[in-house]
């Protein structure tokens, strides 16, 4: 598939429309029947996807849909955006909220798990519904409550919590808001004296890179130190548009890091992960975390074993530059937070033993 094929289904749309994030958002595909005429090779479990979408709604931007490889079975984009029957048939005993986020909210939609930072869920809406999302429980009930009331609650809590120095603005996807609303959020949070650092978590560079505009970058620049964390999971997402979006952020002085999820069939082989990590490095995006896929209801079929994840990362560690290597972690509920998943192989242990004198000299 490519941009032309997808664009042809919108009779009066131009290439200018394609590059406009609002057009992308307004023209999202929300029914499998609306994309049936595209040359997509579905997985067997994706044939009746509309049934699944009534539980976990579908949303795909024309841009992200155009990244699907026409006849590639096992396509990484298809797996991440087209509903799959296994979302409602397997792993139904998994919790909807495995990190128990909903119980860690001192005020609505603000998660405070760690002493010095908190996570502000400013929206439940996203450009694309990533099928592996650990917050897919939000999709059926988007944006509950009033935007200003929610922001006011965040600000009052932050003012009463001097130990919080960093606020992660997330969701949903905060860049779903237009520039004006986003600036109201940033300015409001920045009024709190103890907030030193703002972090934005957004998948827009991967799923709708046209959202990163010059105006947006100008706004974000005003609120530095501001860090931007995004989520590329496959080298197929590292397009020229995505690279341009990341570069615009970087040129505005905003460091861009990546937090991938380890997803079965998408990036769980050494070859695919290596291509992703090298690709990120080439566009100056730092691979930061690789999250083990959480036990979320509706995500059973995306999960790999921890053992295979450790083995894959151990092998990559032997050949890849440290700058290309994310930390492989499992996020668990409570203050323990992110647990590094590492093991030292017997051959590595033997090598360390051989060079014991080296360690002795320096400890
Ligand atoms: S953009 Fe993030 S929060 Fe939204 S569906 Fe994708 S993974 Fe979930």
CA of 136 to the centre of ligand 1 (A): 8
Sign of CA dihedral 61, 63, 67, 68: positive
Cα-Cα end-to-end distance for the chain: 57
The residue whose CB lies within 8 Å of the most ligand 1 atoms, and thus the one to mutate among 99, 122, 126, is 126
Q: Which residue puts its alpha carbon closest to atom 3 of ligand 1?
A: 172
d(CA 171, CA 176): 10
- How many CB atoms neighbour CB 238 within 10 A? 21
Q: Across residues 235-263, what is the average pLDDT?
A: 98
Q: What is the pTM of this model?
A: 0.94
Q: What is the mean pLDDT of residues 34-55?
A: 80
Give the atom of ligand 1 at the shortest distance from the alpha carbon of 129: 5
pLDDT at 335: 67
Whether the pLDDT of residue 185 is over 60: the answer is: yes
pLDDT in tens, 271-321: 999 999 999 999 999 999 999 999 999 999 999 999 999 999 999 999 999
Give Dmax (Cα) for the chain: 72
> Given this model, what pLDDT does residue 362 score?
46
- Determine the Cα–Cα distance for residues 324 and 78; give it in Å rounded to an integer: 26
For residues 182-203, give the mean pLDDT: 98
- Its sign, for the CA torsion 231, 236, 237, 241, is positive
Q: Which CATH number fits domain 101-350: 3.40.630.10, 3.40.50.10800, 3.20.20.70, 1.10.3720.10?
A: 3.20.20.70
Q: Alpha carbon of 359 to those of 117, 322, 342, 351, 362: distances in Å?
A: 35, 20, 20, 12, 5
Check whether 204 has a pLDDT greater than 90: yes
For residue 81, report the distance from its CA to the centre of ligand 1, in Å: 11
pLDDT for position 360? 61
User: What pLDDT digit, counting tens, does each position of 129-171 carry?
Assistant: 999 999 999 887 776 678 889 999 999 999 999 999 999 999 8
C-alpha distances out from residue 157 to 31, 108, 150, 162, 261, Å: 40, 10, 11, 10, 31
Q: Is 97 exposed, middle or buried (0-12, 13-18, 19+ CB in 10 A)?
A: middle
- How confident is the model at residue 147, as a pLDDT? 86
Give the highest mean pLDDT range of 11-15, 134-138, 229-233: 229-233
CA 311 to chain centre: 23
More reliable by pLDDT, 358 or 98 = 98
**pLDDT at position 363:** 40
Does ligand 1 come within 6 angstroms of the Cβ of 268?
no
Is a pLDDT exceeding 50 seen at residue 235?
yes
Of 355 and 62, which is predicted with more confidence? Answer: 62
Is residue 246 within 8 Å of residue 205, measured between CB atoms?
yes
* Residue 129 CB less than 6 A away from ligand 1: yes
Is any atom of ligand 1 closer than 6 Å to the C-beta of 173?
A: yes
Which pLDDT score is estimated for 217? Answer: 98
Question: What's the token pair of residue 69?
Answer: 């490889």
Rounded distance between C-alpha atoms, residue 58 and residue 54, angstroms? 8
For the chain, the domains span: 3-89, 101-350
When mean pLDDT is compared over 39-48, 273-282, 331-340, the highest value belongs to 273-282
Task: Examine the pLDDT at 353 and tell me if it is beyond 80.
Answer: no
pLDDT of amino acid 225: 97
Separation of CA 363 and ligand 1 centre (Å)? 44
Q: Residue 205 pLDDT more than 80? A: yes
The predicted model gives 81-93 an average pLDDT of: 91
Greater confidence (160 vs 104) lies with: 160
Percentage with pLDDT > 70 across the chain: 94
- In this prediction, residue 66 carries a pLDDT of 95
Query: What integer pLDDT is reported at residue 337 of this predicted model?
Result: 80
Residue 338 has pLDDT above 80, yes or no: yes
Distance 7 CA to ligand 1 centre (A): 24
135 CA closest ligand 1 atom index: 8
**What's the 218 CA to ligand 1 centre distance in angstroms?**
25
How remote is the CA of residue 348 from the centroid of ligand 1, in Å? 37
Residue of the nearest CA to atom 1 in ligand 1?
Answer: 203
Report the separation in Å between the CA atom of 344 and the middle of ligand 1, taken as the mean of its atom positions. 33
Residue nearest to atom 6 of ligand 1 (CA): 130
- What's the mean per-residue pLDDT of the chain? 91
């Amino acid at each position: 598939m490519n941009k032309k094929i997808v664009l042809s289904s919108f009779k009066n749309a131009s290439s200018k429309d394609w590059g406009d994030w609002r057009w992308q958002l307004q023209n999202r595909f929300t029914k499998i029947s609306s994309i049936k005429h595209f040359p997509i090779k579905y997985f067997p479990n994706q044939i009746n996807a509309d049934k699944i979408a009534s539980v976990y709604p579908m949303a795909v931007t024309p841009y992200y849909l155009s990244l699907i490889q026409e006849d590639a079975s096992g396509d990484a984009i298809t797996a991440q955006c087209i509903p799959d029957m296994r979302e409602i048939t397997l792993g139904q005993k998994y919790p909807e909220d495995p990190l128990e986020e909903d119980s860690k909210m001192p005020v609505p939609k603000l998660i405070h798990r760690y002493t010095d930072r908190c996570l502000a869920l400013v929206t439940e809406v996203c450009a694309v519904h990533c099928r592996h999302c650990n917050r897919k429980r939000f999709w059926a009930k988007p944006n509950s409550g009033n935007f200003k009331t929610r922001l006011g609650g965040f600000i009052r809590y932050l003012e009463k919590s001097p130990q919080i120095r960093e606020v992660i603005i997330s969701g949903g996807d905060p860049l779903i808001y237009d520039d004006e609303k986003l600036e109201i959020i940033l300015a409001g949070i920045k009024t709190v004296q103890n907030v030193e650092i703002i972090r934005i978590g957004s998948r827009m560079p991967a799923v709708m890179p046209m959202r990163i505009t010059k105006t947006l970058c100008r706004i974000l620049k005003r609120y530095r130190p501001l860090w931007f964390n995004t989520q590329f999971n496959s080298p197929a997402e590292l397009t020229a548009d995505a690279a341009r979006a990341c570069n615009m952020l970087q040129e505005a002085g905003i460091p861009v890091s990546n937090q991938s999820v380890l997803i079965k069939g998408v990036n769980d082989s050494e070859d695919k992960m290596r291509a992703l990590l090298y690709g990120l490095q080439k566009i100056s995006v730092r691979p930061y975390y690789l999250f083990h896929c959480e036990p979320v209801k509706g995500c059973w079929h995306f999960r790999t074993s921890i053992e295979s994840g450790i083995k894959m990362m151990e092998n990559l560690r032997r050949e890849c530059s440290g700058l290309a290597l994310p930390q492989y972690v499992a996020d668990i509920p409570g203050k323990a937070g992110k647990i590094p998943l590492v093991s030292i192989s017997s051959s590595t242990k033997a090598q360390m033993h051989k060079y014991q004198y080296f360690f002795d000299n320096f400890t």
